[in-house]
Amino acid sequence: MTTLFIGLGKMGGPMARQYAAAFNTTLYDVGPAATQLADELGVRALETLDTVPEEIDTVILMVPNSRIVESIMLTGDRLLEKLPEGALVIDMSSSVPTSTQMLAARAAEHGIGYVDAPVSGGTAKAVTGQLAIIVGGEPTAVERAMPHLEPMAGSILVVGPSGSGHAAKALNNLLSATNIAAAAEILTISTKFGIDPAVMVNVLNASTGRSQATEVKFPKHILTGTWDSGFGMDLMIKDLGIARDLAAETGTESPLTATTFEIANTARETVGGELPDHTELARYYELRNDITFTPSQ
């Protein structure tokens, strides 16, 4: 049997390379990426999803958002109607949890397993097959999905029923963005006081204020002025919106969530550009305060 891997962008492309080394794989993307990668890997590419080869029994989705997932599965390509009973769908996109719950229920009506398995770790971990994969779904479907996730994973974390993987991913990215904003604010104050940003980052990392933002993102992508983590600001803001909506749906009072979402959207307007990196949330503080985090030479 064969897996159909849909979505071959910055994350999906390297993930598919890892996956195709372990499983029979057919590729699909709306652009030319599928044909190019298929030629490189020696596998098949589909030009459309109008028909699905009968040997396809597993689908992996790595696309930008729930709207596209729903179009592929229900309203546009109608993939749920084309897959055989007993098939398995693994949505590794960063999707809206309530949409995932709806799709899982619809898949069950067709006798199809549905698992949400979003990832964390960026393109660097996608290339090495060391992503953190956050999994939600019905236990039997999750068990079936595990061998498919292992070629791409450094760790696999099962968190609960359908939609919970996507909820946990959005909440993780909310904390990640909050950490960047908080660290940038601290560094702005310290820089204006006269402390070299690199020195202040060292202080934070030796103290209780450290986070993944100060330990990785500031040294690698912000203090260097490269802004090149590989995860876009627009995707980050999408995840922040999912987290904000989740807070509202659960009736949670969450002022920090609202503040981070507002800061990120203001930063997006301030930074501009077509595809800014999510680490440019820190550049917003530079621009608004007429400073630079690039260390003095």
- State whether 240 and 256 are in the same domain: yes
- State whether 177 and 154 are in the same domain: no
Predicted pLDDT of residue 230: 87
- State whether 185 and 144 are in the same domain: no
- State whether 145 and 226 are in the same domain: no
CATH number for the domain spanning 195: value is: 1.10.1040.10
11 part of a folded domain = yes
Predicted pLDDT of residue 296: 59
Provide the residue range defining the domain that includes 140. 2-161
- Given 161, 182, 216, which residue is the final one in a domain? 161
- Given 113, 144, 161, which residue is the final one in a domain? 161
- State whether 252 and 143 are in the same domain: no
- State whether 228 and 154 are in the same domain: no
- State whether 185 and 139 are in the same domain: no
- State whether 7 and 107 are in the same domain: yes
238 part of a folded domain = yes
**Residue 235: exposed, middle, or buried by beta-carbon count in 10 A (0-12, 13-18, 19+)?**
middle
Catalytic residues: 169
- State whether 174 and 157 are in the same domain: no
- State whether 148 and 9 are in the same domain: yes
Predicted pLDDT of residue 297: 46
**Could you tell me the mean pLDDT of each successive run of 10 residues in the chain, 297 residues long?**
94 97 96 92 94 95 95 94 96 96 97 97 93 98 98 98 97 97 98 96 98 97 94 95 96 97 98 95 97 79
- State whether 51 and 137 are in the same domain: yes
Predicted pLDDT of residue 112: 98
- Given 161, 185, 213, which residue is the final one in a domain? 161
Look up the pTM and report it. Answer: 0.92
Closest C-alpha among 75, 78, 79 to residue 88: 79
- Token pair, residue 17, equals 């390379």
CATH number for the domain spanning 154: value is: 3.40.50.720
294 part of a folded domain = no
- State whether 17 and 155 are in the same domain: yes
27 part of a folded domain = yes
How many domains does the chain contain in total?
Answer: 2
